[in-house]
């Protein structure tokens, strides 16, 4: 196997991730690249992935797809074609980069930017500046939120496992943090821009998430199981932010 030159560990991990997503064999056909060529290629790859999402979305006919199939398709596009590129992007309180792996990203901007990049017609700046409860209300389309308060960490996890279907959800932590929760094969994962030690974008098992254990109050809004929201996604309708 040929080696990649002048590449830091983060970029190397991200390239491996891209190769897996592109269905290439990471143990075969590597080419010798400079770091500059890699960064340029990585940005191009993300653009290509967003184009793939746009093309896939344009081929969906709302009246010819079941709710479960639409939920599954949307979840796959967000979690396999958009979010993986953001892994390792560093956190800062004011971070608002629109390019994964470059600059820094705050928790709200991570959510709003990935939602925009998967095809939602929303203002990522206005959305990211909302309180967590209002971000949840914005995405809920009037559907009830799941609010959990004053339970132990184990109890909160148990409630979520019993309440959530397979798919991806918005999670707001009290007044100060947001991200996604994904239920996959019965397990729960927290996907967020982690402020602890400015780690940035990570996917964590919920049982191992320090951030999840810190907050007594959380808000859950459906995304992939929210049919009215997905209809707006398909029709490119503007998602109006709810600020109060």
Q: What gap in Å lies between CA 2 and CA 191, rounded to an integer?
A: 33
Q: How many CB atoms lie within 10 A of CB 54?
A: 13
- Is residue 15 included in any domain, yes or no? no
Of 153, 150, 120, 155, the closest CA to residue 138 belongs to 120
Q: Is 53 part of a structural domain of the chain?
A: no
Give DSSP secondary structure letters for 117-158.
HTT-B--HHHHHTS-HHHHHHHHHTTPPPEEE-S--HHHHHH
Within a domain: residue 111? yes
| Domain CATH number, residue 209 | 3.90.1720.10
**Does a structural domain hold residue 50?**
no
Torsion over CA of 3, 8, 83 and 152, rounded to 10 degrees? 120
Residue 39 within any structural domain of the chain: no
pLDDT one digit per residue (tens) for the chain, 244 residues: 333 333 343 444 444 344 334 443 333 333 333 334 344 556 679 999 999 999 999 999 988 999 999 999 999 999 999 999 999 999 999 999 999 999 999 999 999 999 999 999 999 999 999 999 999 999 999 999 999 998 899 999 999 999 999 999 999 999 999 999 999 999 999 999 999 999 999 999 999 999 999 999 999 999 999 999 999 999 999 999 999 8
Beta-ladder partners of 171: 179, 220
> Is residue 195 in a domain?
yes
Q: 206 in a domain, yes or no? A: yes
Full strand arrangement of the beta sheet holding 146-148 = 146-148, 218-222, 167-173, 177-184, 187-194, 200-205
Q: Does 1 map to a domain?
A: no
Written as six digits, the tokens of 72 are 């599954």
Q: How many domains does the chain contain in total? A: 1
Range of the domain at 116: 68-235
Q: Which of 209, 208, 206, 182 is nearest to 194 (CA)?
A: 209
């Amino acid at each position: 196997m040929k080696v990649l030159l002048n590449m830091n560990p983060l970029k190397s991990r991200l390239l491996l991730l891209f190769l897996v997503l592109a269905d290439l064999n990471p143990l075969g056909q590597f080419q010798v690249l400079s770091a500059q060529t890699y960064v340029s290629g990585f940005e191009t790859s993300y653009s290509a992935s967003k184009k793939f999402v746009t093309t896939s979305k344009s081929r969906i006919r709302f009246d010819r797809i079941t709710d479960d199939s639409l939920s599954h398709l949307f979840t796959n596009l967000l979690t396999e074609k958009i979010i993986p590129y953001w892994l390792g992007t560093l956190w800062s309180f004011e971070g608002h980069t629109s390019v994964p792996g470059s600059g820094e990203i705050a928790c709200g901007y991570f959510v709003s930017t990935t939602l925009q990049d998967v095809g939602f017609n929303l203002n990522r700046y206005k959305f990211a500046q909302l309180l967590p409860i209002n971000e949840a209300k914005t995405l809920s389309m009037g559907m009830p939120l799941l609010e959990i308060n004053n339970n132990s960490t184990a109890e909160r996890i148990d409630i979520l496992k019993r309440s959530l279907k397979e798919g991806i959800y918005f999670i707001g932590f009290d007044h100060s943090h947001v991200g996604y929760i994904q239920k996959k094969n019965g397990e729960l994962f927290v996907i967020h821009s982690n402020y602890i030690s400015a780690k940035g974008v990570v996917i964590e098992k919920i049982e191992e998430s320090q951030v999840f254990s810190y907050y007594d109050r959380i808000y859950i809004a459906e995304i992939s199981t929210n049919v009215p929201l997905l209809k707006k996604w398909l029709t490119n309708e503007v998602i109006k932010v709810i600020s109060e």
